[in-house]
């Protein structure tokens, strides 16, 4: 999908995003409140384009209202605030359940035994397929700083632009792949050790599960609690800032 300037302008001109509902979305999420006026306009435009291109549908009896669509789109667009919608190419659907949903899959353990697993999930991203979210988790904005299932799942989507999720998205021209590997490799190893020893960390221990989860969780925290990411893993923070082309700590402090 390639957005010509003309097409982009036309979609933006024709959109009728309710201003009141949009303000409510901005007020709801702490990380959108710190955006400058210019950045808020950009987020609004990305959100309009996102809603034009993607279909956000309810499942499990959930009726998806426009305001809910806007909430999901705005959070997803925080990651591409300074990139473009092309980062969400190749799929169209976001499926939203009222609450945690059950994912069923088959897996083979280390001893070669196959299991059929039914696990409650808050979010899921399919390679070249839909993003699935629990609205209860997508909406929840209290008590758990750094946790954001929408940003988490869309970070997986960006990671999957170059194949199965592995914590290595397609970097921009001019970014150093070796530097990315070094920063993430060392941080992941260190983080796993800390979690195994039960040491306290401001980052969700779920990040220790897999390099792909490390990237998704650190992307969540990069937007939600950026100072914690910079304090604990400065080199990872710098790589993320270069990749997402934004510096959220700077935003919070100015
Ligand atoms: Zn994940």
Structure confidence by residue, pLDDT tens digits, 143-180: 577 788 999 999 999 999 999 999 999 999 999 999 99
For ligand 1, a single-atom ion, which residues have Cβ within 5 Å?
213, 216
pLDDT, average across residues 48-60: 95
Q: How far is the CA of 18 from the centre of ligand 1 (A)?
A: 32
pLDDT above 60: residue 1 = no
The pLDDT value recorded for residue 2 is: 59
pLDDT above 60: residue 7 = yes
By percentage, how much of the chain surpasses pLDDT 90?
67
Q: How far is the CA of 37 from the centre of ligand 1 (A)?
A: 31
pLDDT, average across residues 132-150: 81
pLDDT above 70: residue 248 = yes
Q: Strand order in 131-134's β-sheet?
A: 55-58, 93-97, 131-134, 123-125
Q: How far is the CA of 51 from the centre of ligand 1 (A)?
A: 23
pLDDT, average across residues 237-245: 98
Six-digit token pair at 88?
A: 């969400």
The pLDDT value recorded for residue 3 is: 65
The pLDDT value recorded for residue 104 is: 81
Judge whether 252 and 227 are in contact, CB under 8 Å. Answer: yes
Fill in the DSSP letter of residue 101.
Answer: E
pLDDT, average across residues 214-232: 96
pLDDT band at 238 (very low <50, low <70, confident <90, very high): very high
pLDDT band at 65 (very low <50, low <70, confident <90, very high): very high
Q: How far is the CA of 156 from the centre of ligand 1 (A)?
A: 7
Q: How far is the CA of 207 from the centre of ligand 1 (A)?
A: 8
The pLDDT value recorded for residue 254 is: 64
Q: How far is the CA of 174 from the centre of ligand 1 (A)?
A: 28
Judge whether 53 and 7 are in contact, CB under 8 Å. Answer: no
pLDDT band at 117 (very low <50, low <70, confident <90, very high): confident
**Rounded distance, CA 130 to CA 88, Å?**
11
What average pLDDT is seen over the chain?
A: 91
Nearest to 73, CA basis, from 38, 36, 43: 43
**Rounded distance, CA 213 to CA 220, Å?**
10
The least confident of 61-65, 120-124, 208-212 is: 120-124
**Rounded distance, CA 5 to CA 113, Å?**
54
pTM of the model: 0.91
**Rounded distance, CA 241 to CA 225, Å?**
13
């Amino acid at each position: 999908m390639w957005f010509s300037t003309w097409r982009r302008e036309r979609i933006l001109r024709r959109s009728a995003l309710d201003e009141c509902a949009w303000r409510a979305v901005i007020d709801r999420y702490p990380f959108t409140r710190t955006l400058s006026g210019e950045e808020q306009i950009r987020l609004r435009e990305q959100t309009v384009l996102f809603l034009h291109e993607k279909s956000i549908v309810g499942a499990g009896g959930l009726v998806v209202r426009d305001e809910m669509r806007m909430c999901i789109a705005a959070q997803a667009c925080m990651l591409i605030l300074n990139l473009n919608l092309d980062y969400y190419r190749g799929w169209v659907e976001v499926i939203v359940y009222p609450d945690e949903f059950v994912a069923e899959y088959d897996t083979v353990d280390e001893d070669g035994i196959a299991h059929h697993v039914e696990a409650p999930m808050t979010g899921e991203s399919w390679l070249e397929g839909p993003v699935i979210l629990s609205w209860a988790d997508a909406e929840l904005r209290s008590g758990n700083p750094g946790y954001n299932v929408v940003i988490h799942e869309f970070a997986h989507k960006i990671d999957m632009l170059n194949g199965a999720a592995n914590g290595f998205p397609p970097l921009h021209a001019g970014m150093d792949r070796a530097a990315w590997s070094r920063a993430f490799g060392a941080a992941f190893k260190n983080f796993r050790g800390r979690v195994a020893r039960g040491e306290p960390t401001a980052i969700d221990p779920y990040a220790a599960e897999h390099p792909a989860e490390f990237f998704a969780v650190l992307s969540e925290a990069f937007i939600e609690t950026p100072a914690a990411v910079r304090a604990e893993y400065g080199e990872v923070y710098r790589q993320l800032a270069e990749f997402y082309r934004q510096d959220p700590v700077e935003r919070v402090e100015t």
